[in-house]
């Protein structure tokens, strides 16, 4: 009887491992997202997409006006996460949700929860519009491309 239970347990473990690990041809970015558990971080990284310089200029202006630099910098950890390479670590969708609804993300998204645990600080909702959030994301992409993070970020 004990041997039968052991065999049954092993079968269930193998079954669970084989069904939980199937990738189904997912892209490398999707594999990272699957590991993180974030429904917003599957797919290509934001920095892999072509940039919009005009929108990036608007995003830089918003970044300064909204005081984002009080918590964030590029290449330096402050009271919030270092933004160097962020566009190669995250999807545009994840960044947009984090910018627009940080209070929801910290409750529902595992990446955002981990950042909250690490920094003990929830990102402030700056009440940007979706168009403004996209401009800020373009600025972050621009910064990464300017500093060569488009290649470096892929290694992280």
**Domain assignment of residue 19, yes or no:** no
User: Which pTM value belongs to this model?
Assistant: 0.74
**Domain assignment of residue 5, yes or no:** no
> Can you give the CATH number for the domain in which 116 is found?
1.10.760.10
**Domain assignment of residue 24, yes or no:** no
Segment 81-137, tens digit of pLDDT: 999 999 999 999 999 999 999 999 999 999 999 999 999 999 999 999 999 999 999
> Is the CB of residue 128 less than 8 Å from the CB of residue 68?
no
Output the six-digit token pair for 61: 């202006």
**Domain assignment of residue 71, yes or no:** yes
**Domain assignment of residue 123, yes or no:** yes
Number of domains in the chain: 1
| pLDDT value for 35 | 66
Tokens 């892209």 sit on residue: 27
Segment 7-49, tens digit of pLDDT: 333 333 332 332 233 333 334 444 444 467 899 999 999 999 9
**Domain assignment of residue 20, yes or no:** no
Segment 56-90, tens digit of pLDDT: 999 999 999 999 999 999 999 999 999 999 999 99
- Report the alpha-carbon distance of residue 135 to residue 156 in Å, rounded: 24
| pLDDT value for 148 | 80
**Domain assignment of residue 21, yes or no:** no
Domain that holds residue 35: 29-155
**Domain assignment of residue 7, yes or no:** no
Residue 13: C-alpha distances to residues 9, 24, 30, 41 (Å) = 6, 20, 24, 28
| pLDDT value for 66 | 96
| pLDDT value for 60 | 98
Output the six-digit token pair for 15: 């079954």
């Amino acid at each position: 009887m004990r041997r039968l239970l052991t065999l049954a347990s092993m079968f269930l473990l193998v079954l669970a491992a084989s069904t939980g690990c199937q990738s189904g041809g997912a892209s490398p970015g999707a594999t990272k997202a699957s590991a993180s558990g974030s429904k917003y971080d599957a797919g290509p990284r934001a920095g892999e997409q072509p940039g919009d310089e005009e929108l990036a200029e608007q995003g830089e202006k918003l970044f300064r006006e909204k005081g984002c630099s009080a918590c964030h910098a590029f290449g330096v950890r402050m009271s919030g996460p270092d933004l160097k390479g962020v566009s190669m670590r995250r999807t545009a969708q994840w960044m947009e949700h984090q910018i627009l609804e940080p209070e929801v993300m910290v409750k529902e998204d595992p990446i955002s929860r981990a950042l909250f645990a690490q920094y003990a600080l929830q990102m402030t909702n700056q009440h940007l519009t979706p168009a403004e959030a996209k401009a800020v994301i373009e600025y972050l992409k621009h910064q990464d491309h300017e500093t060569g993070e488009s290649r470096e970020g892929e290694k992280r």
